[in-house]
A and B are shown apart, each in its own frame.
Chain A
């Protein structure tokens, strides 16, 4: 059993890697990379050479290629001490065309070209675009840079090795004074006199590595973090995993004691402090509150995360679907060809055939007529707004359950063991609940983990129609905004959930049905 499951998991992981690779090929190679500028106003305001440079600059930011401007190359040499500042200043001023280069600039341009062409880069030199004799056209300054597409394998490798990062005291490169971990029994966030153990670090990315607070599950850590891919347009600079899991809504303020001792009403969550280089003296706000460069804090908000909303709605809807669908499916099978079966069949046909969009709108219209709120509002305390999204999700999945359960039960009704049970004098009720249901439920049970985990993904149409701030819309939004990081991250997340739910389903059915065994001997 364990061996079989390990094999399944391993297979699943390999498929996940291939899926991510395929998706990367799709988004980075097949899609026209000019599309990312479609809604970019900065891009449309640029012209001539600076437009070209801006494109390459953005492509590097989006992870398409590696882009090195000539000036950066010289700066790096100056930083390494290979050339002095004076040479750099002279070399950086290359001419409007290659013929206009000064001697020293020509030398370094040649060096730059050779260095990067040897490494497989393409070096591009754009001659100045002039307007009249001595005046540059708008954005027409001469440009020189090298670029190289990031190869798939390198991208895959850096992606998968970067998924899990473990914080350590050498994480921060800048000088932070003495590096090390401190263990305290009195967490300074609570004023320093309340008993609350915490581990704090200096030199680590996060200041608090382990701490307690009042929120479930009470003990929290910042040592291991998950990075699925950085977002560019959907939620700028934030990782997909954080986009899905951070709370939303308006700020919750409470009295906070900052490290300098300043007390203030604020929504800052000091436990989330991370290092931001040279930030302490960059603003007066930080100087009056913090004592070190760990100034980047999250804020406390009052509502659930995207996944939270999707999960709550999805799980309640699934429970409702099972509570309604299973008894009705059994009833339909027992009263086959009677009125209840016919009504049920009409309902199933309606759900199966009609486009889901159509019946969700129908539910919305009916709900609206009944006075239920038809749009979701995070700030509202009313629980009524949950009703329509939950019903819209539960009714179709209930119909699906009814359809399959009825089919499985009717298939079982003619088997020998049922005839035997009947000839043994059992009542129809006993036969259905003790014998048929047990056998018919196995394929249904196999789908339960998938239903529960699938709730995390959210429902695209339902969440859009009712404006639920859930995770279902993330992929659509990312595709619409060409956010490659989010597309890849969300795909990985989906694929992982599929693999896990299939394996969990296998475990579950082997637990409830002793005949099913995954060890190779009995198969």
Chain B
């Protein structure tokens, strides 16, 4: 029989074969198994570059949180030592001997630039994550209600038009004055009105799909509004929300840098504050490392976060799961 098959260039697998009737299996509906999040990660990891960036992101965040915990960093340890200030990496290593602390040189107080930037990174990342979590939660919930209810829409749109016109800087400075320039003040200042623009964005998206035919059909069949929101609209919004998170988190880091630069930032030594204080070092020969280190680290963190978020956002769009 095999000879005969080979004559036609076929293998045994390609022939019809008899299947026994199984009364248990025939009771099951056999569609391919589909899990949304499973597909999201399948699509996400299909691109090899995503794995590299994700590993980089994990490494940066882990390092920013673990390194300050294990090393004892005292900014003012070498304050009285005038020969320890503003050293380039090679000079710092000559001066203190080789260790990981001195690979980026020493700063204005004779402190290790490497330690300073990672302490700063921890503060900046924490700020961005907390602000993004608060703003996204409030923004998405309010935005959904805003998009659904026409009464709320009229009211909220007016509020949006007014608040969007108040200079954000002024708002933040008032907050800082009222409560001192601490970490939680900054969180409060960035979240007090920050959710509004997210809510407005979500509202626009909800308005776009609210009156689509399938939602109309659901409503005609008597589905409750909450169920429509949770089952029909939320899945549609997932990729939009993920993409939004991808732009939001880096934007808080950028914003913190900006605020520090105009002198309204944190009192803690965040990345922004480091950049602000080392600005004069940028043009001084031999001092460049203390300025460019926080700039580069802030850029790397924001780019990695942004790219991971964007690609995750693309992957969470079901249309890419085919």
Contacts and interface: CB of A to CB of B under 8 A. Distances in A.
Contacts of A152: none
Given A16-B165, A479-B173, A498-B165, A353 B262 contact: no
Interface in A362-376: 362, 364-365, 368, 374
A376 to B, nearest CB: 15
Interface in A208-233: none
Contacts of A461: 258, 261-262
B32 to A, nearest CB: 27
Interface string A320-353: 0000000000000000000000000000011011
Classify the secondary structure of B's interface with A. helix
A476 B158 contact: no
A141 B101 CA distance: 60
Interface in B57-106: none
B31 interface: no
A470 to B, nearest CB: 14
Interface string B294-315: 0110110011011100100000
B162 A30 contact: no
B266 to A, nearest CB: 15
Interface stretch (A18-26, A85-93, A409-417): A18-26
B214 interface: no
Given A15-B162, A352-B306, A494-B165, A23 B170 contact: yes
A297 interface: no
B73 to A, nearest CB: 23
A285 interface: no
B68 to A, nearest CB: 21
Contacts of B35: none
A344 to B, nearest CB: 15
B166 interface: yes
The range of chain B's interface size is 35 or more
Contacts of A358: 257, 275, 295-296, 298-299
Nearest to A17: B162
A355 B170 contact: no
B177 A32 contact: yes
A494 B164 CA distance: 11
B162 A475 contact: no
B303 A355 contact: no
A349 B169 CA distance: 25
A281 interface: no
Given A355-B253, A355-B299, A357-B275, A19 B171 contact: no
Interface residues of A, number: 43
Contacts of B263: 476, 480
Contact of A487 (B158, B170, B305, B307): B170
A23 B166 contact: yes
A415 to B, nearest CB: 16
A31 interface: yes
B141 interface: no
A464 B259 CA distance: 13
Contacts of B149: none
Contact of A479 (B161, B169, B261): B169
A11 B159 CA distance: 12
B178 interface: yes
Nearest to B296: A358
B254 A356 contact: yes
Given A35-B177, A355-B254, A357-B261, A19 B299 contact: no
B140 to A, nearest CB: 21
Contacts of B126: none
Contacts of A12: 161
Nearest to B257: A355
Contacts of A27: 170, 174
Contact of B302 (A353, A460, A490): A353
B194 interface: no
Contact of B303 (A22, A353, A491): A353
Nearest to A498: B165
Interface in A487-519: 487, 490-491, 494-495, 498-499
Nearest to B172: A479
Contacts of A153: none
Contact of A18 (B162, B174, B177): B162
Given A355-B298, A358-B298, A30 B170 contact: no
Interface in A355-406: 355-358, 361-362, 364-365, 368, 374
B5 interface: no
Interface in B114-154: none
Nearest to A490: B167
Given A32-B177, A35-B177, A461-B261, A353 B162 contact: no
B305 to A, nearest CB: 7
Nearest to A478: B170
Contacts of B299: 353-355, 358
B110 interface: no
Contacts of B253: 355
B179 to A, nearest CB: 11
A342 to B, nearest CB: 12
Contacts of A18: 162
Interface string A28-42: 001110010000000
Contact of A357 (B170, B258, B305): B258
A78 B298 CA distance: 68
Given A31-B178, A494-B165, A498-B165, A357 B257 contact: yes
Nearest to A374: B283
A365 B282 CA distance: 8
Q: Which 5 A-B pairs have the closest CB atoms?
A: A353-B306, A355-B254, A355-B257, A495-B165, A354-B299
Interface of A: 11-12, 15-16, 18-19, 22-23, 26-27, 30-32, 35, 349-350, 352-358, 361-362, 364-365, 368, 374, 460-461, 464, 475-476, 479-480, 487, 490-491, 494-495, 498-499
10 contacts: A11-B161, A19-B162, A19-B166, A31-B174, A349-B306, A355-B272, A357-B254, A475-B170, A476-B262, A479-B169
Interface of B: 158, 161-162, 164-167, 169-171, 173-174, 177-178, 247, 250, 253-254, 257-258, 261-264, 272, 275, 282-283, 291, 295-296, 298-299, 302-303, 305-307, 310
